[in-house]
Amino acid sequence: MALAVWGFRLGWIAATITETDVITTYTQRYLSEAGAAARLTDCAGVPGSRDGVWIIVRCQQDGQRFDYPVDRFGRLLAVPEDTRRPGAPET
């Protein structure tokens, strides 16, 4: 029974979460991490480029880039350190 409830919950999340929800959530995280100069308009969502990544919320400020790769359930997958410095390679 617990497995059925868990499966239903994951299905519900996947069916109801939107790109806007994900972008808003990780833009708020960026604003708290990047400091006073960070703005909402620094961020945009781009399609994921590797398996399991649904959206990458990409925020850029003064040559520094913050990438938040997110799966279909809204979970942050990884934040490689090389995305936190100027001149980070494009993914």
Residue 81 has pLDDT above 80, yes or no: no
**Any residues with CB less than 8 A from the CB of 13 and at least 6 apart, and which?**
73, 74
pTM over 0.95: no
DSSP letter string over 6-19? HHHHHHHHHHH--H
For the segment 5-38, what is each residue's pLDDT rounded down to a tens digit?
Answer: 555 565 555 567 899 999 999 999 999 988 889 9
Q: Delimit the domains of the chain by residue range.
A: 18-83
**N-term to C-term CA, the chain:** 41
